[in-house]
Amino acid sequence: MIEIIKGEVVSKGDSYLIIQLGGIGLKVSTPGSVSQALEKGEIAHLYTDLILRENDISLYGFQDIATRNLFRTLVKVNGVGPKAALSILSSLSVHNIYQAVHLKDFQPFLLAPGIGNKTAQKIILYLQDKLDPVLVGLQLDEVDNLDTELLDALVGLGYSIVEAQTCIQSLPKDAPNELEEKLRLALKYFS
């Protein structure tokens, strides 16, 4: 119904943006990374999913089509509603989700608030049949060797794999492509 919106960010929270379109302000629930990346006054361009419930109409927004489509798939898992799917996408990158499904490892999903062992296992079982194996392979091949080295360095410094992955995901996209610089930014994240 509403596939894309583009408008000025007039307000924001940890997991939502208020976007003005003409004379209307729409509340769009987003993963934390999206709301953190956009500042008040900037123009947001989001791929959206409108969910109609008996007593609720909610709009969810994502920076790319792949994330939106993964959200739509997650919502179909028994026990995973829109808020839980958004929580998963706030805690894990699309790559981490593809990797977890490929490895049949439900542990990363436990990082998302509100996701327990049974639900995490259901997600893995459901997504195994729904994700295109070719795309899973492409997602896994896209991992930057530099990020792998950075992950190893952070784990070597005593951070858990989960902490290190979360830190790496939070690094700015325009961060220098040098291990030393990325490590410096990562250590700033932990301080």
117, β-bridge pairs: none
pLDDT value at residue 172: 77
Q: What is the pLDDT of residues 65-110, one digit of tens each?
A: 889 999 999 999 998 999 999 999 998 888 888 888 888 888 889 8
114 sits in the region (left: phi over 0; alpha: psi -120 to 50; else beta) called: left
Q: What is the pLDDT of residues 150-168, one digit of tens each?
A: 877 888 888 877 777 778 7
Instruction: Give the other-Cβ count within 10 Å of 81's Cβ.
Output: 14
- What DSSP character marks residue 3? -
Rounded Cα distance, 146 and 178, in Å: 8
Angle at 47 between CA 40 and CA 145, to 5 degrees: 90
Which tokens go with 159? Answer: 């951070």
- The answer to whether 100 and 88 are in contact (CB under 8 A) is no
Residue 136 has pLDDT above 80, yes or no: no
Q: How far apart are the first and last CA of the chain?
A: 43
Rounded Cα distance, 20 and 59, in Å: 14
55, β-bridge pairs: none
- Name the phi and psi angles at 92, rounded to 5: -130, 145
Q: Regarding predicted confidence, which is higher, 64 or 137?
A: 64
* Domains in the chain with CATH codes: 4-62 (2.40.50.140), 65-141 (1.10.150.20), 145-190 (1.10.8)
pLDDT value at residue 68: 92
Query: SS3 for 103?
Result: helix
